[in-house]
Amino acid sequence: MNTYLVGGAVRDRLLNLPVKERDWVVVGATPEQMLALGFRPVGREFPVFLHPQTHEEYALARTERKTAPGYRGFVVHAAPEVTLEQDLLRRDLTINAMAEDARGRLIDPYGGLSDLQAGLLRHVSQAFAEDPVRILRVARFAARYARLGFKVAEETLTLMRAMVAAGEVDALVPERVWAELVKALSEPAPAEFFRALRNCGALERLFPELDRLFGVPQPPQHHPEIDTGIHALLVLEQAACLSDDPKLRFAALMHDLGKGLTPPERWPSHHGHEKSGLPALQALCTRLKAPKDYQRLAEQVMRYHGHCHRATELRAATLVDLLQRLDALRKNNRLADFLLACEADARGRTGFENRSYPQRDLILKAQIAAMAVTTAPLIAQGLQGEALGKALRQARIASVRRALAPQTPTITDLSPK
């Protein structure tokens, strides 16, 4: 029985990146032997065990054989005679098909190290085409390692296109697509995930609401990049610079779905796209079974990002009403996330990447002023019900108006220095 460190731990160590978790392959063992050593079984489809002390995963070496369409149609064979090379051959990418023995020596039968040095995401074998999840994984690795210069190998991209054409991605269940999406949104360069999917044709099948944005023009004076799909990915890039939160990044990416529904005769204008995109967003979230908090923030950004951009032009009453619609006048609100997503939209345009966004500070200032108003004095006046609500709104408007009023310089301010 021999144990080998495999996969991401080997890959990331060679890249001089932090190793987050370690996975092991055991060659020459049976499940009974693992149990006798105190390992706890956790695998349902194939033999995987947790180490009794470290709780790291130890999987028996195995092979897989495709028996049906989709990513669940496999027969797994795990037995003592399965070799390490056979186990590594079933993996997705060469950079994930390396191992280390007990002495720390690298075992690299499929050229993973050379691909790591060349920055290539290349499939190990034609067995790659048997599992459509691997399309999502390759796109996710593109998002993770783009800043290191990694690209999808041309032969792998060709294989991914053939898989899409064969309908393999249509077999992916929504829960798996959503899980990979959230992971991709959490990567350093999440826009590369969608670029990789679009390059192989999978974006149209998995995220048609996003795919239809490409080729749709916008007014060049406001959007020098012109193409709405390009703008969406630029916005996601800016969101990734502003926050690590995948919810915020998701909301920023989805904010302009309505532009993909504008009739061509109205291009490049997209009047009303904030509202027209809501059904598309709901359809996407329903299909992928997105959590409610993701959908809620995305709806807010889609519906009100135009209001946010015009914040300096809005009256105090409009600002208060906007804060109310955003549910921003209570504790534990997500106004900060909404504002960062809107800032990402403003900066996600060619040439606007480093522009300041004073609207964010203005709205936060208005929020503080509105939340400073309490109901106690109004209740003490005997107000209740609808009358109390109207009086509270007026008091908040007055507070916001005072907070945002231009400051009059004092005599001291005007005196010569």
Residue-wise pLDDT for 131-148, tens only, equals 999 999 999 999 999 999
User: Which pLDDT belongs to residue 67?
Assistant: 61
Report DSSP letters for 141-204, one per residue: HHHHHGGGT-EE-HHHHHHHHHHHHTTGGGG--HHHHHHHHHHHHTSSSTHHHHHHHHHHTHHH
Tokens of 195: 């670029």
The answer to whether the CB of 281 falls within 8 A of the CB of 251 is: no
Residue 263, preceding bond cis, omega within 30 degrees? no
Is it the case that residue 253 has pLDDT exceeding 50? yes
Question: Could you read off the pLDDT of 288-343 as tens digits, one per residue?
Answer: 999 999 999 999 999 999 999 999 999 999 999 999 999 999 988 999 999 999 99
CA distance 299 to 322: 14
Percent of the chain with pLDDT over 70: 95
Tell me the pTM. Answer: 0.91
